[in-house]
Copies of this chain bind each other. A is one copy, B any other.
Amino acid sequence: MRDVAIIGVGCTEFGELWDKSFRELFVEAGISAIEDAGIQGGKIDALYVGNMSGGRFIEQEHIGSLIADYAGLASFNIPSTRVEAACASGGLALRQGIIAVASGYHDIVIAGGAEKMTDVDVETTTDALAAAADREWEGVMGATFPGLYAMIARLHMHRYGTTSEQLASVAVKNHHNGMMNPKAQFQHEISIDSVLNSVMIADPLHVFDCSPISDGASAVVLAPAEVARKYTDTPVYVKASAQASGTLSLHDRRDITTLDATVVAAKKAYDMAKVTPRDIDFAEVHDCFTIAEICAIEDLGFVKKGEGGKVSQEGMTAIGGKIPINTSGGLKACGHPVGATGVKQAVEITMQLRGEAGKRQVDGAEIGLTHNVGGSGGTAVIHIFGRER
């Protein structure tokens, strides 16, 4: 198995991008990744693209072919494959790209993700997103995602004393980080009060506890580690790629405050990278709701179960804290174009490890982790990246 490195990254701005189509978004991200890597289109051996619901959002499937074609790569007949795992689609596309390079099937691979969510009305968006949960046991009961994560939050509060203020502190921190990210959908501060006074979506989750509906795309260029320095002075090495499944439905879980898929994928990833949670300098985690970030930092082993809310409020996860989380602004403030998110996380880690994250730079960052979740935990995928091989 060959080691793999990231040699280029690209990302569009995230937000309600009325003047850009799905195909334009992906091409923009892809070209910027290719330019960053300093390669030509003809050097690319394969494309992988994460996309959750082109069929519902833009009435288009066969996304791999679309992307290859509109990127001007059809003349090279480059294999192009769409991967879907709800909100973890981007993370899995990245993983397939890594496996393809590791296998020797391909050398230079672009792994990207894209979603265009604002071309349909919000009811269609909500229903399309509900297709990430179990349609027959959750969706038809009216259990959309805010409702599912509200149940997780309610039990976490009951069992561990987590408070609404602690949940809100996650949103406040991520907005603060987003303010320093020129690609973020929300580049402004919010306060604990503004979260607590915002409209209630599914008790105890206010609208400011929820990630937004977004358009956007992101891409990375992968290469065999042994040749990465031919392309860049600052390769970022993939130290681990791990994926696990949980039950699709929340009610089938052993414990709804723990995502077993995250726990299992994390253990595999730490083993593969030969590190422990203490070795991780910073991470991008899947904060589709504030409670999700709290569960994530627990399930990833950064803190003990039940302490996620407390440490978030105390600043442990802020830039400058013990383990900065979601320096990009996370799904909450950077935005959450679902297919793009998992790849955007890797873009952020790469920029941090290269020392190119500007005002939000984490000092001395050597090892970073990404954590991308599909649905309420049916899929989790974790990558660990390092400055050193």
Contacts and interface: CB of A to CB of B under 8 A. Distances in A.
A127 B63 CA distance: 16
A139 B53 contact: no
A364 interface: no
A328 interface: no
Nearest to A130: B59
B59 A139 contact: yes
A276 B52 CA distance: 39
A243 B81 contact: yes
Contacts of A189: none
B83 A81 contact: yes
Given A82-B84, A83-B82, A66 B104 contact: no
Interface residues of A, number: 64
A333 to B, nearest CB: 25
Interface string A346-381: 000000000000000000000000000011001100
B62 A246 contact: no
Contact of A135 (B59, B128, B139, B243): B59
B66 A260 contact: no
A223 interface: no
Contacts of A59: 127, 131, 135, 139
Interface in A96-153: 96, 99-100, 102-105, 127-128, 131-135, 139
B82 A378 contact: no
A89 to B, nearest CB: 9
A65 B379 contact: yes
A245 B374 contact: no
Interface in A284-324: none
